[in-house]
Structure 1
Amino acid sequence: MSSLGSTPTSPVPVKDLRLLDVKLGQLPAWLASCDYSPAGIVKAYQRGTNRFYNKYINVKKGGIGGIAILLTSYVVISYIWSYDHIKHDRWRKYH
């Protein structure tokens, strides 16, 4: 399972590789090929935002995972909020 550009004989130029696919020896060439102009920075930000939205927000199908995370976080937060009261009830003696 090799990713795009992971082999040294890859036909993909270094400037088109993602940061995770760049080898340590290729890092200076990759950094030098980046566009540091204001327009290039805006385009890079837009690419990152689009990737984030497509991965986490605009999902094609939903499942039980989102609801499970919501309910679990509600239970944990409720326990944290009422922990002080629960802690004091634990030390009471009923006799």
Structure 2
Amino acid sequence: MADRPVPIVEKRLMDVKLGELSRWITGRDFTPNGILASLRRGHNRYYNKYINVRRGGIGGVAMMLAGYVLISYIWEYDHLKHQRWRKYH
């Protein structure tokens, strides 16, 4: 079964082709309530994608540990660089 065509007004910006852009912009709601609703939708989409995720697992801990190792290496690089050129201890 083929999907039914979606009206241009209901498409997301990333799904709109360049020729349809002017019709898509004119179909937007630029009233204060429309702008506020679009900001709410954007905030909810961001919150659900990045903040409200399932917690736990080894991935987050491993990423934090890798970040700590990288940052500590960057902080100590000057000291390590000078040790590399020493011939005698």
Q: Same fold (TM over 0.5)?
A: yes
> TM-score normalised to the size of structure 2?
0.83
Aligned residue for 2:76?
82
Q: In structure 1, which of residues 50, 55, 62 is the aligned counterpart of residue 49 of structure 2?
A: 55
Q: Distance in 2 between matches of 1:35 and 1:62?
A: 40
> TM-score normalised to the size of structure 1?
0.79
Aligned residue for 1:42?
36
Report whether the alignment pairs 1:73 with 2:75: no
Query: Runs of 5+ in structure 2 lacking a partner?
Result: none
SS in 1 for 2:88: coil
Q: How many residues are treated as equivalent by the alignment?
A: 87
Task: Please list every run of at least 4 consecutive aligned residues from structure 1 whose deviation after the TM superposition is greater than 4 angstroms.
Answer: none
Query: Percent identity between the aligned chains?
Result: 59
Q: Distance in 1 between matches of 2:70 and 2:8?
A: 46
Question: Larger % of helix: which?
Answer: 2
Query: Runs of 5+ in structure 1 lacking a partner?
Result: none
Letter in 2 for 1:88: H
